[in-house]
Structure 1
């Protein structure tokens, strides 16, 4: 899921790293413009089953 930089407001920044912890996913971002870093924690139960499955598959691939 893409995000907006909280510092310079650059848009559509893809996560640099993602991890799933139980029913939550933690995405780490770094802005390519100002180099600001931040994390976002999302509760996957608030999203559709499709989003939860994609997040789970993405994390499993990164761990391999």
Structure 2
């Protein structure tokens, strides 16, 4: 999910890195304009049924 830079307000910035943590996903961003870095944690169950199914898929850690 793309985001806007909280520092310079540039829009449509794609995540530089994403990690899943149970029902949540953490997206890390870096603005190409001002180089500001930030992270956003989203609860996937709050977005849609599609994201909810993704949150409940088995990860490598839980499959072992």
Q: Judging by fraction of residues, say which structure has more helix.
A: 1
Where do 5+ consecutive residues of structure 1 fail to align? none
- Determine if the alignment matches structure 1 residue 16 to structure 2 residue 36: no
State the partner residue of 1:46: 46
**Superimposed CA distance per residue, residues 21-54 of structure 1 (whole angstroms, 9 cap, x where no aligned partner):** 000000000000000000000001101122342x
Calculate the TM-score normalised by the size of structure 1: 0.79
Where do 5+ consecutive residues of structure 2 fail to align? none
RMSD between superposed Cα atoms in Å: 2.2
Runs of 4+ in structure 1 over 4 Å off: none
Query: What is the distance in 2 between the residues matched to 1:41 and 1:56?
Result: 16
Calculate the TM-score normalised by the size of structure 2: 0.79
Aligned residues: 58
